[in-house]
Amino acid sequence: MIIERNNVDRIFKALNDQIGAHGGYAVGLVVCGGTALTALGLVIRTTKDVDVLGLVNEDSAGIHIKKIEKFPDWFSKAAATVQRDFDLPENWVNLGPAPQVDLGLPEGFESRLIKKKYGDYLSVYYISRIDQVYFKLYAAVDRNGYHTDDLFALKPTIEEIEKASKWVLTQDVSDDFKQILKDFLRKHDYGIVAERI
């Protein structure tokens, strides 16, 4: 099965139930990529996996994102049961983007997260549209492909692309990358931004 708009809530509710069944505790996950785009209705497409950026600690001072190296055993067992029940790919919920927490997140990132509670055990914090623009620009310049499609499906304004470009340049400070970014912007009719950065 693939993850899409009409089953993403069902899959996460099942994961919530399995966390409880496997002796887990309440957890908040920051989710980006295709699942976040789909769940929020920002881009209607399918995806094979759930990209987890990190864990959320939420207290009176606000939201704090913690990098996670490995899921707890009870979470992995819960995810494996959901994988079986929904015929999902192996590693369907993964920590692929987790290093981004160390590399740096856009300013105000935490305040823009969109929380959805799936039960007593699982809360998902989806990244916002503008943060998708930041991440997708970085991925599009680096890897192109569907990331480019996602980026332009979000219909970013010139101002948003300029802000995203400035953030992207903090992630890779090399002159070569800056030139690749400028070429990408010119190719996609954002030449005015290429001249400003």
* 72-106 per-position pLDDT tens digit: 999 999 999 999 999 999 999 999 999 999 999 99
pLDDT score at 144: 72
Cα separation, 197 vs 186, whole angstroms = 12
Domain boundaries, the chain: 8-127, 130-196
pLDDT score at 7: 93
183-192 pLDDT per residue, tens: 999 999 999 9
Give 123-181 pLDDT, tens digit per residue: 999 999 999 999 999 999 977 778 999 999 999 999 999 999 999 999 999 999 999 99
Q: What pLDDT, on a 0 to 100 scale, did the predictor assign at position 4?
A: 84
The candidate with the shortest Cα–Cα distance to 52, out of 70, 40, 64, is 70
Element (H, E) at 165: helix 158-171
Mean local confidence (pLDDT), 63-68:
93
How high is the pLDDT of residue 167? Answer: 96
pLDDT at 44: 87
pLDDT at 15 over 90: yes
Question: What local confidence, expressed as pLDDT, does residue 145 receive?
Answer: 77
Q: Which residues contact 109 (CB under 8 A, 6 or more apart)?
A: 65, 127, 131
pLDDT bracket for residue 5 (50, 70, 90): confident
Does the pLDDT value for residue 9 go beyond 90?
yes
pLDDT at residue 53, rounded to an integer:
97
Nearest to 144 by CA among 152, 194, 172, 38: 152
Give residue-wise pLDDT tens across range 34-60: 999 999 999 988 899 999 999 999 888
Whether pTM exceeds 0.75: yes
Mean pLDDT of 105-125: 97
